[in-house]
């Protein structure tokens, strides 16, 4: 296949994937998986750049397209709308040459079975260039911040001083974080291995923020399969903020530990890497496909736990009757703290989704609290920045229970400095020291 046809095919595949997210509500991961089936491995990175970028800046790009069209496209041609956004993203936000962006994007319309719209795509993109790549007027809303209005308003309410920072951070590309398996080596030792593998000074590879003993933030992402020692369990891919949970939960000892909602197993593996011989770990998740992912991760790390396909709220189906000393509840949430990694969240989440998630989160807390020994600790975690899923849940739970208090144990001061203390817990805001957005509330069970 010629380079021109290959380039057009990549753009056509990207338009189909983006259209599936925006108009059909498909997750970006699922849409990309379908798109990649017809592309060579070497062509997939560009596909991802186009998909992620056009979804990340969807509202601005949509306004730019609308300003250049004499009239809106028909609904049945929504894939061409997606293609035009991808075209303008290339011209305004990438280093792709203007000629290639215009010609290959226009040709992609033919591959999308819209040959009559090839001249339109070509004209819109050329007009964009002639008009000196204009940006739409800032409106203080979706077009300016590239988020849905309901989410912008939620952040204004929850984070009156930081909401713009959060929105701006969400529109950045997320770095690649690693967690080095301390059973195998230190982070410094692994940095030396990376430096040798790439032949560069280790200080140019990444940073280790103080307080993250086993964390590495790479200056540039690596293909996972190229990471030295990945298959041997020396290292895992896990955001730095997510690495706060396991050491916090295990501070002062472990005993019987439950990792609820554990899939895909990143925190499960971290708990086991830190655990002493007195720790026994049970990991549960209700999705059997995702439970397989837990087992795969543990097999790679050469670590063992009791892994069950189970609904945390249906205790009679899986619980052996012995109370747990520690419980990690990484609750299903809106994932509003990891939007920079998953820009499709902006398009897939609705206000009603957060209401339903909040009910489920409170239900999980209620169910798991009864499995905790007096004097035990439960760490409630979400990758959300919305109070409705965080402080509001913990406050409602505390109001119902006389036997719950904030645990005296706190993360070390270096990590604590990265978090904002809230009324019920701690929040890491997206982009803080290149971290994702995570919420933590550590609860201790006291005598009633």
User: Tell me: the pLDDT tens digits for 36-62?
Assistant: 998 999 999 999 999 999 999 999 999
Q: For residue 408, name the pLDDT band (cuts at 50, 70, 90).
A: confident
Contact 28, 21 (CB under 8 A): yes
pLDDT given at position 208: 56
Contacts 24+ apart (CB under 8 A), 393-399: 393/358, 393/361, 393/362, 393/365, 394/424, 394/425, 394/441, 394/443, 395/423, 395/424, 396/362, 397/362, 397/365, 397/366, 397/369, 397/443, 398/424
Lowest mean pLDDT among 68-82, 196-210, 213-227, 428-442: 196-210
CA separation (Å) from 203 to 14, 192, 208, 227, 243? 36, 10, 10, 17, 21
pLDDT > 70: what percent of the chain? 96
pLDDT given at position 198: 76
The catalytically annotated residue of 51, 217, 333, 383 is: 383
pLDDT > 90: what percent of the chain? 83
Contact 395, 423 (CB under 8 A): yes
Mean confidence (pLDDT) of the chain: 93
**Residue ranges of domains in the chain:** 3-138, 176-237, 241-445
CA angle 105, 107, 110 (to 5 degrees): 120
383 is catalytic: yes
Contact 345, 335 (CB under 8 A): yes
pLDDT given at position 213: 78
pLDDT given at position 136: 76
Q: For residue 417, name the pLDDT band (cuts at 50, 70, 90).
A: confident
pLDDT given at position 210: 61
pLDDT given at position 1: 61
Q: For residue 203, name the pLDDT band (cuts at 50, 70, 90).
A: low
Q: Report the top-level CATH class of 3-138.
A: mainly alpha
pLDDT given at position 197: 84
pLDDT given at position 201: 56
The average pLDDT across 378-395 equals: 98
User: Which CATH code is given to the segment(s) 176-237?
Assistant: 3.30.70.1170
> pTM of the prediction?
0.94
Confidence check: pLDDT of 211 > 70: no
The average pLDDT across 126-137 equals: 84
Q: With helix as H, strand as E and coil as C, how does the chain read?
A: CCHHHHHHHHHHHHHHHHHHHHHHCCCHHHHHHHHHCCCCHHHHHHHHHHHHHHHHCHHHHHHHHHHHCCCCCCHHHHHHHHHHHHHHHHHHHCCCCHHHHHHHHHHHHHHCCCHHHHHHHHHHHHHHHHCCCCCCCCCCCHHHHCCCHHHHHHHHHHCCCCHHHHHHHHCCCCCEEEEECCCCCCHHHHHHHHHHHHCCCHHHCEECCCCCCCEEEECCCCCHHHCCCCCCCCEEECCCHHHHHHHHHHCCCCCEEEEECCCCCHHHHHHHHHCCCCCEEEEEECCHHHHHHHHHHHHHHCCCCEEEECCCCCHHHCCCCCCEEEEEEECCCCCCCCCCCCCCHHHHCCHHHHHHHHHHHHHHHHHHHCCEEEEEEEEEEECCCCHHHCHHHHHHHHHHCCCEEECCCCCCHHHHCCCEECCCCEEECCCHHHCCCEEEEEEEECCC
Q: Which fold has domain 241-445?
A: Rossmann fold (3.40.50)
pLDDT given at position 411: 75
Confidence check: pLDDT of 187 > 70: yes
pLDDT given at position 149: 96
The average pLDDT across 236-250 equals: 94
């Amino acid at each position: 296949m010629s380079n021109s046809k290959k380039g057009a095919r990549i753009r056509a595949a990207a338009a189909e994937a983006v259209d599936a997210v925006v108009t059909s509500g498909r997750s970006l991961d699922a849409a990309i998986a379908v798109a990649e089936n017809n592309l060579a491995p070497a062509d997939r990175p560009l596909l991802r750049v186009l998909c992620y970028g056009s979804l990340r800046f969807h509202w601005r790009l949509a306004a730019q397209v609308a300003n250049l069209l004499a009239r809106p496209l028909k609904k049945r041609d929504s894939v061409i709308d997606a293609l035009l956004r991808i075209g303008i993203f290339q011209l305004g936000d990438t280093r792709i040459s203007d000629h290639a962006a215009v010609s290959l994007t226009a040709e992609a319309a033919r591959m999308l079975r819209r040959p009559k719209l090839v001249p339109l795509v070509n004209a819109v993109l050329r007009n964009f260039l002639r008009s000196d790549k204009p940006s739409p007027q800032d409106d203080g809303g979706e077009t300016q911040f590239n988020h849905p209005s309901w989410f912008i308003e939620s952040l204004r309410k929850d984070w009156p001083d930081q909401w713009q920072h959060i929105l701006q951070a969400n529109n950045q590309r997320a770095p690649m974080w690693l967690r080095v398996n301390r059973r195998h080596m230190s982070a410094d030792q692994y940095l030396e291995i990376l430096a040798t593998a790439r032949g560069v000074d280790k200080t140019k590879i990444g940073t280790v923020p103080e307080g993250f003993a086993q964390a590495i933030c790479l200056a540039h992402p690596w293909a996972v399969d190229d990471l030295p020692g990945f298959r041997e369990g020396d290292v895992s891919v896990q955001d730095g903020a997510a690495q706060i949970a396991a050491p916090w939960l295990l501070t002062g000892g472990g005993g019987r530990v439950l990792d609820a909602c554990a899939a895909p197993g990143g925190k499960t593996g971290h708990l086991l890497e830190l655990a002493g011989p007195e720790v026994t770990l049970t990991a549960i998740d209700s999705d059997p496909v995702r439970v397989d992912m837990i087992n795969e991760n543990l097999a790679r790390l050469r670590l063992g736990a009791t892994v069950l396909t189970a609904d945390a709220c249906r205790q009679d189906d899986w619980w052996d009757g012995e109370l747990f000393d520690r419980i990690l509840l990484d609750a299903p949430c809106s994932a509003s703290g990891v939007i920079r990694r998953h820009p499709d969240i902006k398009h897939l989440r609705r206000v009603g989704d957060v209401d339903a998630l909040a009910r489920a989160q409170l239900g999980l807390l209620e169910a798991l609290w009864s499995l905790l020994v007096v004097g035990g600790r439960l760490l409630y975690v979400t990758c959300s920045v919305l109070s409705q899923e965080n402080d509001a849940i913990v406050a409602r739970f505390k109001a119902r229970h006389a036997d719950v208090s904030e645990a005296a144990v706190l993360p070390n001061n270096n990590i604590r400095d990265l978090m904002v203390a809230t009324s019920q817990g701690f929040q890491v805001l997206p982009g803080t020291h290149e971290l994702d957005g995570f919420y933590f509330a550590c609860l201790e069970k006291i005598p009633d």
